[in-house]
Amino acid sequence: MFTSDTLADQTILITGGGSGLGLAMAKKFASFGSNIAICGRTEEKLKNAVEEIEEAANDSTAKYYVADVRDYDRIEEMTGEIVSDFGEMTGLVNNAAGNFLSASEDLSPGGFKAVVDIVLHGSFNCTHVFGNYLIDEEREGNILNMVTTYSEGIGSAFVLPSACGKAGVLAMTRSLAYEWATYGIRLNAIAPGPFPTKGAWERLVPDESAEQKFLSKIPAGRYGDKEELANLATFLMSDMAPYITGECVVIDGGERLSAGQFNFIDKLGSREELKGFFKMMHKKED
């Protein structure tokens, strides 16, 4: 459904675009004609990423900016640099995140703060600066926030700072979607389930048995593919979705539904064995 010019005439900043899901989105957007700005803390990583993005690009360019999303002044300065380098900025993907596993009673205040600062304050900083640029310039624009399936409602044990930060980002998405609709600014979110990336897996999946348990919660029977997420992000950032705002799209192969009361029955045997079992139960009733 996309064509090579689906995102032509766009310049999109992807925070944390030097690796993982951020880089996958950057390459996908570039292949559909968008200019790309990526930012992060590690210059070497960003430099290599820009080469990869330019290889995938279709008539568009990519640049990197060394910036920590926690630093409001640097984000303001960087946004000025992007506008000066590309002539404009049309979209923002708040993708930079921090996370680690910890028993919450053992968290240090510094550990809680580091993650919430990156996830929530970082997303606010970039959104606030970009939103003000759009409003001052009387331009329309598009913001996409990466949250998680535990952002809404259920939270998650052992990742308390991330659960708190991402819930805040989702609240920001919906609050501003309403408040800034009058300026033609759309805000949406994507809630990915498990997509194996080096950054997340190293910090969140302790060993192979944990990985198997993780996988067993996904009724689709597999992890997500970065391409699938990048396609969804492309749709939301494109002119194909002009009336969608304040929405959070879950992409998780059904993992969030794993709490269903009788879902565990699926694990008691093969589908044929279960059917035999159900038949026996049915007969007993006769």
Neighbours of 17 (CB within 10 A): 32
From the list 2, 58, 76, 100, which residue makes contact with ligand HXC (rule: CB under 6 A)? 100
Distance (Å, whole) CA 104 – CA 213: 21
Catalytic option among 64, 150, 183, 243: 150
Q: Does 215 bind ligand HXC (CB under 6 A)?
A: no
User: With binding defined as CB under 6 A, does residue 257 bind ligand HXC?
Assistant: no
H/E element, 136: helix 122-137
Q: How far is the CB of 256 from ligand HXC (least distance, A)?
A: 11
Q: How far apart are CA 243 and CA 119, in angstroms?
A: 27
Number of residues that bind ligand HXC (CB under 6 A): 18
- Two tokens at 17? 């675009």
Name the minimum Å distance from CB 80 to ligand HXC: 24
Kindly state the smallest distance separating residue 205's Cβ from ligand HXC, in Å.
Answer: 9
Is 223 known to be catalytic?
A: no
Binding of ligand HXC by 196 (CB under 6 A):
no
Is residue 162 a contact point for ligand HXC (CB under 6 A)? yes
Q: CA-to-CA distance for 30 and 120, rounded, in angstroms? A: 27
- In DSSP notation, 5-43 reads TTTTT-EEEEETTTSHHHHHHHHHHHHTT-EEEEEES-H
Question: Is 194 one of the binding residues for ligand HXC (CB under 6 A)?
Answer: yes
Residue numbers at the binding site for ligand HXC (CB under 6 A): 97-100, 102, 108, 110-111, 114-115, 118, 148, 162, 194, 199-200, 203-204
